[in-house]
Structure 1
Amino acid sequence: MSENLARQFLLREDVVFLNHGSFGACPRPVFETYQRWQLDLERQPVEFLGRNLTETMRVPRIALSAELGCSSDDLVGLTNATTGLNIVAQSLDLKPGDQILTTDHEYSALEKTWAYVARRTGAEIVVVKVPMPLLTEAQFTDTIIAGMTERTKVLFLSHITSPTALLFPIERSIAEARKRGIWSVIDGAHTPGHIKLDLDALGADFYSGNCHKWLMTPKGSAFLHARPEVQNLLNPLVISHGWTIDSKQPGAKGAFGNSPFIDGIEMQGTRDPAPWLTVPAALDFRRDNDWTSVAAHCQQLAQDTASRLGELTGLAPLSASQFCAPQMVAMPLPECDVVAVKDALLDKYNIEIPVFKWQDTCIARLSVQGYNSRPQMDLLIGALTDLLGLTAGAKRQAS
């Protein structure tokens, strides 16, 4: 399976690419569609950007909404999830003393976003420590709810965490936030194409995710979803052609006939929309290659590899299996120089994989996608065994 699929990707053959989670990798047929869109744009820029763009942008929105379980009217195309979450964070009316509740597992770019918002508004960031290892849903949810106060205005959570590759069970936390009048803002950077989503059922106020990671579109393709009741709270980061002065009025239309939410954010003047326009092609590629089966195989390969490494290190996983992202796993390592290990994996073994320290834990974060294979996992285990002296370490622990 992996050999046939590997030929459909553009990754260098001399690199063992185990880091799909960072920027994704685009299949050749989807990339070719992307280039055709770019060529169409260059052949008649005025027609493409000036006359046809509103209708053209609607097509991927409709296709993606079916995949995400939501209305296409509640979805807008963006370049990345960080942009979507910045739109939300910088739009919400926060005041001194208001609290933004979040966890100690969030992505650093968004930690900085909320720090910026807090400095500008006087709001306070409250970080709860998720109990580790994460073994039960109640363990997570009870911790989040215990952090809510009368001053909590925003609940910000990752759905799948970047540093620890955990799949947080966020449903009850979102429901409780709604009951208390707390805005829920979800970082779904790793979720589209990785786990099954039903955004309407989830009920988060705001949810932003990347398509260029696990959905495998080209870089620069993402979305922001907002419930209809809260769309009027949002302002674009850049005011451009799609914005109208009455955008906050009930029943208002954007400058191009969509809602102010869509037109104000999506229609930003001159930019290359080609990555977003490939969403239908990426969905077709997944269907044509039975990606449900591919993903199940990748999940098994990821979990097997993590278990093998755990047997060598004697270190427990960060969570029970149901709270681990299906195709991405943060594997604890013995105390080590993480930069030296990461560099040696690339320089000596041609393995591209993130190795870093999160809090007090050294981690190698493994991503497994359809182009990866069991021999590549064997190579990784052998390389880590060599670099970390795991055979000797395992004997010492056994004694």
Structure 2
Amino acid sequence: MLDPGVAFLNHGSYGATPRAVLAEQERWRALMERHPTHFMSEELPSAVRSAAARIAAFVGARPNDLVFVENATGACNTVLRSLHLAPGDEILLTDHGYAAVRKAAEYVARRAGARVVEAAVPFPLQDAAQVVAAVSSRLSSRTRLVIFDHITSSTAVIFPVHELTALCRAAGVPVLIDGAHAPGMLSLDVPSIGADWYTGNCHKWLMAPKGSGFLWVAPQRQTDTHPLVISHGYGQGFTAEFDWIGTRDSSAWLSVPAAIDFHERLGGTKLRERNAALAREQSSLLARAWNTERGAPDALTGSMATIRLPLREAATAERALALRRKLFDDHRIEAPVNAFAGALWVRISAHAYNRPADYARLAACFHP
């Protein structure tokens, strides 16, 4: 359904849902509207659990440890609102983290008299050890939660989540991982990471409908983790609380199995490997064409990559937005531009529909 006249290099922001998956969503909506009462009360509960079992298997988890959410930002809010903070407590983030999650952390911290602490991770990155060192340097006896991305949004870096989680666990600090970009980009075994909470989006790289994400919660954290909306399921167990938060259109959740099927038909693991290889190859070609640099080496790069633009102007959020709009309006290229570490960076995505010619169009827009 994508506009064939646009070089769409921004799958990472909102994904792109194929017709087959949208058709499945419409099928669920038709079932809901044919017998609204019967569907909501008799069919929906088991259908949600069945869909949750599919995404749980896809990420290596037990069905009873995973619930659906609207998106990863909502899941992070859920965890933050479930915390019991005291004055002087600290929530540790990194400066590569998603801005919406930082704002949520600041809101929760301010209400409790706590504070948000930021670990400055170098950029461009040379290796994973730099990430671990940055987080380690800001851990303290006051840290009550550490939040870090699995794959960062603005800088497109794969963080060493196993090493970071081990570091925090050794310090006795719980971990929330924002894995918004991970499902469908990386092969996942969520429980093996060792975090307390892990959230991912299904609408991005897995190409499910918008409004589909998941929250995995370690068994020992489930009794203290509650949805943002408390409804009839309160007191009936972890999954019951999240599965019903009031009347809503759950068709996006119920269509996740169809998205997984579509992903597997495209190749599954081979698709993920192909996308990552394309992003690494094309980001290197762009960096050479512009005589600049990539934001991270291959080992820390998946299906997204960042390249420094060959511009000497001020790196501001306003200028980044203007460049993104210019790329779309003048060149019919969709690619986000971010101001980070004193420079302007373009982020490219690679999915099944992308070809080298898409990136060649981008290369021609800037000159060293």
Q: TM-score range by the shorter chain?
A: over 0.9
- Report 1:219-258 matches (<5 A): 219-244=210-235, 254=236
Structure 1 counterpart of 2:276, from 292, 295, 299: 299
| Residue 294 (structure 2) pairs with residue 331 (structure 1) | no
CA separation in 2, counterparts of 1:328 and 1:208?
A: 19
Q: Is the 1:295–1:370 contact (alpha carbons within 8 Å) kept by the matching residues of 2?
A: no
* Structure 1 residue 170, shift from structure 2 partner: 1.8
Q: Is the 2:45–2:243 contact (alpha carbons within 8 Å) kept by the matching residues of 1?
A: no
- Report 1:367-386 matches (<5 A): 367-382=349-364, 384-385=365-366
Structure 2 counterpart of 1:267, from 244, 255, 280: 244
Match of residue 93 from structure 2: 102
* Structure 1 residue 25, shift from structure 2 partner: 0.5
Structure 2 counterpart of 1:354, from 324, 330, 336: 336
| Residue 295 (structure 2) pairs with residue 318 (structure 1) | yes
Q: Is the 1:25–1:212 contact (alpha carbons within 8 Å) kept by the matching residues of 2?
A: yes
Match of residue 113 from structure 1: 104
Indicate the percent of aligned positions where both proteins have the same amino acid.
Answer: 39
* Structure 1 residue 32, shift from structure 2 partner: 0.7
Amino acid at match of 2:161: I
| Residue 241 (structure 2) pairs with residue 276 (structure 1) | no
Q: Please state whether the residue corresponding to 2:172 is helix, strand or coil.
A: coil
Output the aligned Cα RMSD.
Answer: 1.4
* Structure 1 residue 145, shift from structure 2 partner: 1.6
Task: Compare 176-185 and 93-102 and name the one that shifted more.
Answer: 176-185
CA separation in 2, counterparts of 1:274 and 1:381?
A: 40
Task: Tell me the TM-score normalized by structure 2.
Answer: 0.95
Q: Is the 1:102–1:127 contact (alpha carbons within 8 Å) kept by the matching residues of 2?
A: yes
Q: Is the 1:211–1:217 contact (alpha carbons within 8 Å) kept by the matching residues of 2?
A: yes
* Structure 1 residue 134, shift from structure 2 partner: 1.9
* Structure 1 residue 316, shift from structure 2 partner: 2.3
Amino acid at match of 2:106: A
* Structure 1 residue 309, shift from structure 2 partner: 1.6
Amino acid at match of 1:376: D
Q: Please state whether the residue corresponding to 1:362 is helix, strand or coil.
A: strand
CA separation in 2, counterparts of 1:372 and 1:133?
A: 25
| Residue 45 (structure 2) pairs with residue 32 (structure 1) | no
Q: How many residues align?
A: 362
Structure 1 counterpart of 2:324, from 342, 347, 350: 342
Q: Is the 2:93–2:102 contact (alpha carbons within 8 Å) kept by the matching residues of 1?
A: no
* Structure 2: segments with no counterpart, 5+ residues: 314-318
CA separation in 1, counterparts of 2:327 and 2:91?
A: 39
* CA distances 1:174-205 after superposition (whole Å, capped 9, x unpaired): 12222322110110111111111111110110
Match of residue 345 from structure 2: 363
Task: Tell me the TM-score normalized by structure 1.
Answer: 0.88
Q: Structure 2 vs 1, CA of residues 241 and 192 (structure 1 numbering), >3 Å: closer, same or farther?
A: same
* CA distances 1:260-290 after superposition (whole Å, capped 9, x unpaired): 2211122012100001111111111122221
Q: Is the 1:141–1:170 contact (alpha carbons within 8 Å) kept by the matching residues of 2?
A: no
Q: Is the 2:94–2:118 contact (alpha carbons within 8 Å) kept by the matching residues of 1?
A: yes
* CA distances 1:321-351 after superposition (whole Å, capped 9, x unpaired): 1112x11111111234433322221112211
Match of residue 316 from structure 2: none
Amino acid at match of 2:56: S
Task: Compare 227-236 and 216-225 and name the one that shifted more.
Answer: 227-236
Q: Please state whether the residue corresponding to 1:14 is helix, strand or coil.
A: coil
Q: Structure 2 vs 1, CA of residues 344 and 370 (structure 1 numbering), >3 Å: closer, same or farther?
A: same
CA separation in 1, counterparts of 2:347 and 2:332?
A: 16
Highest Rg: 1 or 2? 1
Structure 1 counterpart of 2:165, from 145, 166, 174: 174
Q: Is the 1:34–1:278 contact (alpha carbons within 8 Å) kept by the matching residues of 2?
A: yes
* Structure 1 residue 304, shift from structure 2 partner: 2.0
| Residue 81 (structure 2) pairs with residue 90 (structure 1) | yes
Match of residue 34 from structure 2: 43
> Where do 4+ consecutive residues of structure 1 move more than 6 Å?
none
Q: Please state whether the residue corresponding to 1:12 is helix, strand or coil.
A: coil
Amino acid at match of 2:103: K
Q: Structure 2 vs 1, CA of residues 316 and 377 (structure 1 numbering), >3 Å: closer, same or farther?
A: closer
CA separation in 2, counterparts of 1:48 and 1:338?
A: 47
Q: Structure 2 vs 1, CA of residues 54 and 343 (structure 1 numbering), >3 Å: closer, same or farther?
A: same
